[in-house]
Amino acid sequence: MGSGSSVNIQYKYSLQKSESAFKAAVLIQQWYRRHVARLEMRRRCTWRIFQSIEYACEQDQIKLHNFFSYLMDQFTPSSSKERDFISRMLISGESYKEAELEKYCDYESIEVPDSYTGPHLSFPLLPDHATALLEAFQQKQQLHARYVLNLLHETRKHLKQLPNISHVSTCYSEEVTVCGDLHGQLDDLFLIFYKNGLPSPSKSYVFNGDFVDRGKQSLEILVILFTFLLIYPKEVHLNRGNHEDHMVNLRYGFTKEVMQKYKVHGKKILKMFQNVFCWLPLATLIDQKVLIIHGGISDTTDLDMLEKIQRDKLLSLLLPPRFPEGPQSAQAPSTANRLEFSRWLRQTVQEQIDTCRRLVDISESEPEELTYSSMVSLKGVDDEPCWSRQEEWKQVLDILWSDPTPQEGCRENKVRGGGCYFGPDVTEKFLEKYSLQFLIRSHECKQEGYEFCHNRKVLTIFSASNYYEIGSNRGAYVKLGPDLIPHFVQYQANKTAHMLNMTQRISRVEESAFRALREKLFAHTSALISAFKAYDGDNTGKITLSNWATAVESVLRLGLPWRMLRPQLVRSTEDGMLEYKSWLDDLAMEQRSQEHIQSSLLEVIYRNRSNLETIFRIIDRDHSGLISFEEFQQTWKLFSSHMNIELTDDGINDLVRSIDFNKDGNIDFNEFLEAFRLVKQCPA
C-alpha cells in the first residue's frame, strides 16, 4: 500500500509539472506570436512609407512633362533668342546624325597615358576582357574614357541591328536566367554571377532594364553588361527600362555619376549612353510563350505595333512627342479638271513619300544605313496602317511604366505619373490574344525579390537587394528551363544584413523610413500650417490628433495610415491635442541639424529640389554647374508664365542681380533655388 501511494503522489506531481510546462509553453507561444505580429505590422507600415514616398517622387515626373508640354503648346516666344533657348531645352536629348555623333564622340582621338593601370579593351572583345573588367571593378578601378566610348560605339552598332522584341529559345541553352532592376548596385550583379555563373554559350541571361540611377555604380554595370552583350550576342539580352532615359537620369543620379567619374570626357560619354539607351530592345520573348517587359501592359498594348515602331526616335518618354506631321494636303479638286487633279495627285503622293522619309529619317541628300526597325517601318508603309507618333509613344510608355493591380480593368497610373494600372482581366485577354503562358516584369521593389499576381500569370522580379535600406528587401533572379517552370534564387548582397536579426533589421529600416517621412512633412510646412488652421477655428494653435491625421493626408496624399504612424511622429499629450506650430518647429530643427544651408531655403529645397535640379541640368548644357545670366533670365520668363506669376523683364533682371551672391556673373544651383523661393513669395 505504501509503495502504491508513493507512485500516485509521484504521478500527480509529474502531471502538475507537465501541466505547468504546457501552460508556460502556451504563454511563450502566445507572446511570440504577438511579437511576430507586431514586427510584421511595423514591417508593412515601413514598406508602405518607402513605396508611397518613392512613387510620390516619380509622380513629379509628370510635372516636368506638363512643363515641357506647356512650352510646346502654350508659350509663344517673343524673340528669336527665346525661340532658340526653348529649342535648346527641348532638343537637349535629340540624337545627332550618324556622322555628327561619330565626330563628336571620336574615341580614337583620346590617348591612353602610360600611367594608366586599369583594364585595356581591344575589339572584337573576348571573354578575358570581361574577366579583366570584373576584377578591375572589384578593386574600384576605372575604365579609361577612350575604352568606354569605344565600347559604346560598338554596342550601338550591334543594338541597331536588333529587333524591337528579342526572341530567345531554351533549345540552345540549358536555361534562361532573368534579372530585374539593378539600379547601380554592382554588388548585386557580382553576386548573381557568383551564384549563377557568368554568361556563356550555355548560360543565357535577360536583364530587364533599370540598370542605372539611385545606386553609385551604374556605369560599371553598363560596361559589364555591354561587354558580355558583344561577346555573347546570342546569349545576353537587354531590355530597356524606364530609367534608360536621359531625362530620368538627370533626376536620379546617373548623369551626375558619369560627370563625376569622367570630368573631361563625361559629356561625350553621356551623349553616347543617351543614344545607346534609345536603341535597347523593348521586350524579350522566350519560346514564344513568356513575354518579358520592364513595366507591364495596358488594354491597348499591341505587340505588332511594338515590333514595327522606330524605337530610336523615343529618346525620352518624359518629353512630349514632338513629331512633325506631314504637310496638310489641300482638298482634292474635282475630277472633271483632269490636269488639275493630276497635279494634286502627284503632289499628294510626293508629300506622303516625304513624310515616310522623315519617319525613317532618310533624306535624298544624306543616305543612312537601314536598321532593322527602319526596314520594318518601310515595309509597313505599304502593308500596315500608319500609326501616329503619339500612339507609338503611348505604347512604349505603357510597357515601361505600368504596374499590375488586383482590380479589374485598366486605368491611368496617377501614383507614378506615367503608364497605367492593369487588372487580371487585361492580363488574361492579352495572354490569350498572343498565345502566351505568363508575363515577367520588373519595375517594382518586392520584399522577397519576386512576387506573383493575377493568378500567377504576372511575375515581378527585382534584383536590387537592400533597395530602400540595408535589410529592407532581398534581391532575386528567376531561371526558366524548357518546361518554362520558374525557379527562384534569393539573396542579400550586403554582409551587414546577414548579421542582423529580424528585430534589428526591422528597427533599422523603420528608422530610415520615418526619417524620410519627416523630411517629406517638413517639405510641406507651409501647406500643413494652412491645413491645420482650417481645423483651428479659434486660433488656439492646437488641433486634435484625429484632425492632425486628416490634415496631413490632405496635404501629402500618400495614402498612409497616419493614425497608426502617429506615435512615431507626434509626442503623446494628456489632453489629446497637438500644438502644431511647436511640432513643425521640431521638424525644422531636425532638418536644420542635417543641412548646413540657409534655413529659409530648406523647405523649398526639400519640396522642389528634384524638379528644379533636373531643369537646371538641362539648361547647364556643359555640366559646369553654372548657368549664365541670360539663360537664367530666359528660364524665369518661362517659369513666371507657366506659374501665372506676373514678373516683368525688369523684375527678372533685379532678381538675377540680387541672387548672384558671390558676384561672379553666373548662377549656381543654390542661387537658382533662392530665386525660386523669392518668386514663389511674390503675389500672383
Name the grid cell of 89.
531645352
SS3 at position 30 = helix
Give the count of beta carbons closer than 10 Å to the beta carbon of residue 287: 15
Beta bridge partners of 489: 477
- What is the phi-psi region of residue 659: left when phi exceeds 0, alpha when psi lies from -120 to 50, beta otherwise? alpha
Which has the closest alpha carbon to 438: 611, 252, 297?
297
| Residues 500-526: b if buried by 16+ CB within 10 A, e if exposed | beeeebbbbbbebbbebbbbbbbbbbe
Residue 108 neighbours by CB under 8 Å, 6+ apart: none
- Distance, in Å, from the CA atom of 62 to the CA atom of 537, rounded to the nearest integer, reads 36
Distance set, CA 207 to CA 228, 239, 259, 278, 464 (Å) = 12, 6, 25, 16, 12
- Distance, in Å, from the CA atom of 304 to the CA atom of 280, rounded to the nearest integer, reads 18
Q: What is the dihedral of CA 536, 540, 546, 547, to 10 degrees?
A: 20
**Is 248 within 8 Å of 400 (Cβ atoms)?**
no
**Is 545 within 8 Å of 576 (Cβ atoms)?**
yes
Mode of pairing for the β-strands spanning 627-628 and 666-667: antiparallel
Q: Give the DSSP letter string of 186-253.
A: HHHHHHHHHHH---BTTBEEEE-S--SSSSS-HHHHHHHHHHHHHH-TTTEEE---TTSSHHHHHHHS
567 preceded by cis ω (within 30°)? Answer: no
Burial level of 398, CB count in 10 A (0-12/13-18/19+)? buried
**Is 202 within 8 Å of 361 (Cβ atoms)?**
no
Beta bridge partners of 411: 421
- Distance, in Å, from the CA atom of 673 to the CA atom of 597, rounded to the nearest integer, reads 12
Identify the residue whose cell numbers are 500567377. Answer: 456
Residue 577 neighbours by CB under 8 Å, 6+ apart: 542, 543, 544, 545
Q: What is the CA radius of gyration of the chain?
A: 30
Name the grid cell of 196.
549563377
> Which sign, positive or negative, has the C-alpha torsion 311, 313, 315, 320?
negative
Identify the residue whose cell numbers are 512613387. Answer: 55
Among candidate residues 144, 183, 237, 243, the one labeled active-site is: 243
- Distance, in Å, from the CA atom of 462 to the CA atom of 479, rounded to the nearest integer, reads 13
**Is 249 within 8 Å of 618 (Cβ atoms)?**
no
Helix pair 629-642, 599-619: axis angle to 10 deg: 110
Burial level of 425, CB count in 10 A (0-12/13-18/19+)? middle
Question: What amino acid is encoded at 138 in this protein?
Answer: Q
Which has the closest alpha carbon to 467: 188, 137, 190, 58?
188
Identify the residue whose cell numbers are 501616329. Answer: 388
Which has the closest alpha carbon to 570: 653, 617, 514?
514
Annotation marks residue 243 as catalytic? yes
- At residue 118, φ and ψ (nearest 5 deg) are -80, -175
**Catalytic (active-site) positions:** 243
